[in-house]
Amino acid sequence: PKVFRKNKDKLIDKIREWTASGQPYTCRFGMEMLMTHFLDEDFRVEYLGIPAAVHSEEYYVNMMIAWFYATALAKQWDAAVGYIEKKCLDPWTHNKTIQKARESYRITREQKEYLKTLKV
């Protein structure tokens, strides 16, 4: 919605609330809004910590975390790669992030090869 683009300061507060929710689809929605609205011109390094703080057994939540970080690697490589290097995610999500990033056309061959060395 256009209202999200016009009220980013309020949106980030809601995103924090949604991602902290115990409801899987609310949490997933919050991460998708973070990915959609805050990985480009409104990006801040601290936003990368929001999905990393989510711990879930839900497949769709963990897949969204992987999708978020794969997109972050494509758009904000220098900031995002540290989350992979430091293994901030659970092993399944970590490896899924690498898989999704390596399937992307938005990162270089060299970056893909480097990510391959970081699998757990």
Q: Give the pLDDT of residue 1.
A: 76
Does 12 score more than 90 pLDDT?
A: yes
Q: What is the pLDDT of residues 60-102, one digit of tens each?
A: 999 999 999 999 999 999 999 999 999 999 999 999 999 999 9
Does an H or E element contain 28, and which?
Answer: helix 24-37
Q: Give the pLDDT of residue 2.
A: 80
Q: Looking at residues 21-39, what average pLDDT do you find? A: 96
Q: What are the extents of the domains in the chain?
A: 2-116
3-state secondary structure 35-60: HHHCCCCCCCHHHHHHHHCCCCCCHH
Query: What is the CATH number assigned to the segment(s) 2-116?
Result: 1.25.10.90
Q: Give the pLDDT of residue 34.
A: 97
The reply to whether the predicted model has a pTM over 0.85 is yes
Q: Looking at residues 45-69, what average pLDDT do you find? A: 97
